[in-house]
Amino acid sequence: MSSSVLVVVEIRNGAPVRASLEALGVGRRIAGPPGSGTVTAVLLGSGSESSSTTVAERGVDKVLSVADPRFDAFHAVVWAAAIAAIAREIDAGTILVAGTSNGRELVGRLAARWEAAAVNGVADLSLAADGTLMAVRPVFSGRALQEVRVDQTRAVLGLRPNAFTAPEPSGSKASVEAHPTPDLGQLPALGVVSGFEPAQTGSGPDLSEALVVVSGGRGLRGPENFRLLEDLAGALGGAIGASRAVTDSGWKPASFQVGQTGRTVSPQLYIAVGISGAIQHVVGMISSRTIVAINSDPNAPIFKVADYGVVGDLFQIVPALTAEIRRVRGS
């Protein structure tokens, strides 16, 4: 297998998304130390030049920036055509893609285009002695794990956000190269992206990518009490989520819902406040690294899946927790 790794870096709001930076670290690990294999990062779209600098400091060998506005709106077919062409050019063996909404859609399309194997939702990746890639991925909403062996010399892997550590900026800087738009071949009729509608999710980070999620349930008794959770999430730099009971009651829009029929989240820290822990909710958050439950009912099922539990009155516990976090963080 070629130890040339291509990492697709997605840009949002003028900067590389964190999940793409995480992918850079994985790329370095599977390519081997500098000198043994190469890691090339590719950025597409008009923001790619300004974001290239951040990427160049994260242990890559080369950064290719294709500053063509045709990539500004995401069309999987256009991105796949460009990335497959670049992968052929640099003779890549593996392409890594951050598992954002765009990234997840890109993986299958790109693998078909580049005639490669594909694995999405990778939460752990290792390299066997013979160079075979082994991926671990949660399935059945995190209720089981699958190990997948890649049996092809080319593979496109979609990586779960928050599953890997993003490398810190290092002192050395890779070369940044402005790359011309590759030949995209014959493209089919495309859609037109006519506008972006922000989800009503408060001011914090996006729910599905946040490192900390603070979710509220029926125990909050009313929409006005979400203010307590907003303070806690604010102190932690986290996002707000909600149980289905909350979104069904209209206390929060549906875009806040974590669970089977809502969003699936896997943050480092998930704090469930006043949530009983119905299976419907649990499948949306069970892959979180650490789960804290705060509930007045000691028999609530949420305590069976949580790592830490506090039985008590959330209206007292949550403000105390917010104050303590502010204290230790010195703010």
Partner 1 sequence: MELLVLIKPVPDPETRLRPNAAGTNLDTDGVKWVLTGYDESAVEQALLLKEAIPGSKVRAIAFGPAPRTEEILRSALALGCDAATWVEQPADTPTDPMRAAAALTVACQKTPFDLILVGKQALDDEAGLVGPALAERLGIADYGPVVDVRWDAAGRRFTFARAVEGGSDRVSAPTPLVVCLQQAWNDPRTAKLQNVLKARRIAIDKVTWAEVAAGIGSAAPGTHVTAFRLPPPRTGAKMIEYRTPDEAAQKLVRLLREEAKVLP
In whole angstroms, the minimum distance from the beta carbon of 202 to partner 1 comes to 11
Between residue 24 and residue 53, which ones bind partner 1 under the rule CB under 8 A?
none
**Binding region for partner 1 (CB under 8 A) out of 31-39, 51-59, 87-95, 308-316:** 308-316
Task: By CB under 8 A, name the one of 1, 76, 166, 278 that touches partner 1.
Answer: 76
Between residue 171 and residue 230, which ones bind partner 1 under the rule CB under 8 A?
186, 188-199, 201, 206, 208-209
Tell me which DSSP letter residue 247 carries: H
Tell me which DSSP letter residue 110 carries: H
Opening angle at CA 219, ends 280 and 299, nearest 5: 70
The nearer residue to partner 1, 56 or 235, going by C-beta atoms, is: 235
Cα–Cα distance list, 182 to 68, 161, 179, 309, 329 (Å):
10, 28, 8, 54, 48
152 lies in the site for partner 1, by CB under 8 A = yes
Q: How far out from the chain centre does Cα 289 lie?
A: 14
275 lies in the site for partner 1, by CB under 8 A = no
The nearer residue to partner 1, 177 or 329, going by C-beta atoms, is: 329
In whole angstroms, the minimum distance from the beta carbon of 51 to partner 1 comes to 16
CA dist 283 and 260 (Å) reads: 6
In whole angstroms, the minimum distance from the beta carbon of 235 to partner 1 comes to 10
Between residue 119 and residue 148, which ones bind partner 1 under the rule CB under 8 A?
119-121, 134, 137-148
What does the per-residue mask of binding to partner 1 show for 6-25, with x meaning CB under 8 A? ------x----x--------
The nearer residue to partner 1, 31 or 306, going by C-beta atoms, is: 306
CA dist 53 and 195 (Å) reads: 29
Binding residues for partner 1, total number by CB under 8 A? 93
Task: By CB under 8 A, name the one of 14, 33, 35, 151 that touches partner 1.
Answer: 151
> Helix or strand or coil: residue 322?
helix
In whole angstroms, the minimum distance from the beta carbon of 148 to partner 1 comes to 5
- What is the Cα gyration radius of the chain? 21
**Binding region for partner 1 (CB under 8 A) out of 88-96, 98-106, 165-173, 216-224:** 98-106
Opening angle at CA 158, ends 155 and 161, nearest 5: 155
Structure token pair of residue 86: 């670049």
The nearer residue to partner 1, 90 or 211, going by C-beta atoms, is: 211
- The residue length of the chain stands at 331
331 lies in the site for partner 1, by CB under 8 A = no
Q: Name the one residue in this structure whose structure tokens are 């290092």.
A: 170
* Sign, CA torsion 267/273/275/276: positive
248 lies in the site for partner 1, by CB under 8 A = no
CA dist 200 and 118 (Å) reads: 33
In whole angstroms, the minimum distance from the beta carbon of 73 to partner 1 comes to 8
